[in-house]
Amino acid sequence: MSLRTLLSGMIQQVEGAYAVMLMGYDCIAIDEVHLGRPGFDVQMMTVEYATVIKEIQRTVEVVGAGDMEEITITTKQSCMILRVINEELFAAFVLSRDGNVGKARYLLRANALTMIKAIE
């Protein structure tokens, strides 16, 4: 299964989803699928958050809290779930504030290995 097919299937399953993507920590999207118009620049938001993720990971390592797995960022307009895939990649779901966050979290976790296999 291609990464695009996988991401397309994931976004169709989540009510209120705007985008789902696989990105490198270098802020380059491996692939992404968009649905709807959120009213803000999803790509820019994800790039900016990638920088924040690196700092949070460093902090988690310094304090010895274990490996970081997931971050959820909620604003008045949206919710973004960032899931660590490996040391080079993370996946992100961007949803409306009232989107199905639980389903998005589940799909990111359940499809992490499939995303890696899709790009090998």
**Residue 90, domain CATH:** 3.30.450.30
Residue 113: which domain range? 3-119
pLDDT reported for residue 49 = 80
Give me the mean pLDDT over the 65-85 stretch.
91
Of 62 and 111, more confident: 111
Question: CA–CA separation, 12 vs 9, rounded Å?
Answer: 5
pLDDT reported for residue 19 = 93
pLDDT reported for residue 21 = 93
Q: How many domains does the chain have?
A: 1
Q: What is the pLDDT of residues 23-62, one digit of tens each?
A: 988 888 899 999 877 777 777 887 788 788 888 888 888 8
Under the banding of pLDDT at 50, 70 and 90, the label for residue 104 is very high
pLDDT reported for residue 45 = 80
pLDDT reported for residue 40 = 72
| Burial bucket for residue 25 (CB in 10 Å: 0-12, 13-18, 19+) | middle
Mean residue pLDDT of the chain comes to: 90
Give me the mean pLDDT over the 66-74 stretch.
90
Question: CA–CA separation, 70 vs 72, rounded Å?
Answer: 7
Buried b (16+ CB within 10 A) or exposed e, 86-99: eeebbbbbbbbeeb
Structure-block tokens of residue 72: 């959820």
Q: Is 78 helix (H, G, I), strand (E, B) or coil?
A: strand
Under the banding of pLDDT at 50, 70 and 90, the label for residue 18 is very high
